[in-house]
Amino acid sequence: MKGEFIPVSQTIANRISDMIFLDKKYIPGSKLPNEYDLSAELGVSRASLREAIKILAAKGILIIKRGSGTFVSDSTGENDDIYGIKYLEDKKKLVKHWFEFRLILEPKSARLAAENADGKQVEKICDFSEKITQLIKSGEPFTKEDQQFHALIAEATKNDVIKLTMPSIESAVSDAIQTSSKVGHTEKSNENALLYHPAIARFIKYRDGDGAEMAMRFHILRGLKDLE
């Protein structure tokens, strides 16, 4: 029987996680004590504490701002790599795989959103759809807002796993697209958004699960097609 060894850095990472998610001692957006104080409080060296913080930052739980402090993430997950996925060689294949993945996940998410979204969430989704339309009409970039649109739908599913994973999926897809094709596919992307975002938003608004699933499916299929 081998007694499992757990490094202090990992132990401390777990304790900080517990303080955040269980004890709610630190809430999203709030600032942790500085490294000197926190390491003293936890009874470990600053080096070990820093390793723990790096672990949690890598997981998207903490955000480190040099010179000002370390903060609990608002979980607007910016993580665009897990398991080294983004390093896969064949970028074109990678984009295809990401779209295949989204094609499985997002239409069902749209359906769940149509079934479960509350009033505020419906409103936000519609707002963002319009906001993106405005941005496109004035010729501005809307990648960020597009990601948020999909993230809002994920949140409206009321499924925590979907809600928490979707942002980094969208982020990873964006990254994969950018690294795979130097060419901007803006025009086609504009059409796609203008056509399907309002439709998706409407279906969700009117609680039409079938419609939302279908619209999202077409939206993603179109996105995939436009990449060729």
Partner DNA sequence: TTTTAAAATTAGTCATACAACTTTGTATTG
Partner DNA sequence: CAATACAAAGTTGTATGACTAATTTTAAAA
Residue 186 CB partners (closer than 8 Å, separation 6+)? none
* Binding test (CB under 7 A) with DNA, winner from 15, 19, 51, 194: 51
Would you count residue 58 as binding DNA (CB under 7 A)?
A: no
- With the CA atoms of 121, 163, 131 and 197 taken in that order, what torsion angle do they form, in degrees rounded to the nearest 10? -90
Alpha-carbon distance of 58 to 50, in angstroms, equals 12
Count the site residues for a copy of itself by CB under 8 A. 50
DSSP state of 113: H
Written as six digits, the tokens of 48 are 């070990």
Nearest by Cα to 205 from 131, 132, 104, 122? 122
Residue 104: closest CA among 228, 216, 225 = 216
Q: Which of residues 22-81 bind a copy of itself (CB under 8 A)?
A: 22, 47, 50-51, 54-61, 64, 66, 75, 77, 79, 81
Question: How many angstroms separate the CA atoms of 54 and 112, rounded?
Answer: 35
Site string for a copy of itself, 167-186 (x = CB under 8 A): -x------------------
- Least distance from C-beta 94 to a copy of itself, angstroms? 7
Chosen from DNA, a copy of itself, none, partner binding at 122 (C-beta under 5 to 8 Å by type): none
Q: Does 67 interact with DNA (rule: CB under 7 A)? A: yes
Per CB under 8 A, the list member of 83, 119, 182, 228 interacting with a copy of itself is: 83
What 3-state DSSP class applies to 62?
A: strand
Per partner kind, with CB cut-offs from 5 to 8 A, the member of DNA, a copy of itself, none near residue 69 is: DNA
Q: Is 31 in a helix, a strand, or coil?
A: strand
84 binds a copy of itself (CB under 8 A): yes
CB neighbour class for 194 (10 Å; exposed up to 12, middle 13-18, buried from 19): middle
Contact 226, 192 (CB under 8 A): yes
Minimum Å gap between C-beta 190 and a copy of itself is 26
Q: Which of 8, 63, 85, 221 binds a copy of itself (CB under 8 A)?
A: 85
Whole-number Cα distances in Å, 185 to 69, 179, 222, 228: 39, 13, 12, 10
69 near DNA, rule: CB under 7 A: yes
Between 78 and 100, CB nearer to DNA: 78
**Could you say whether residue 18 binds a copy of itself (CB under 8 A)?**
yes
Residues near a copy of itself (CB under 8 A) = 5, 7, 9, 17-18, 20-22, 47, 50-51, 54-61, 64, 66, 75, 77, 79, 81-85, 87-89, 93-94, 97-98, 100-101, 104-105, 108-109, 112, 159-162, 164-165, 168
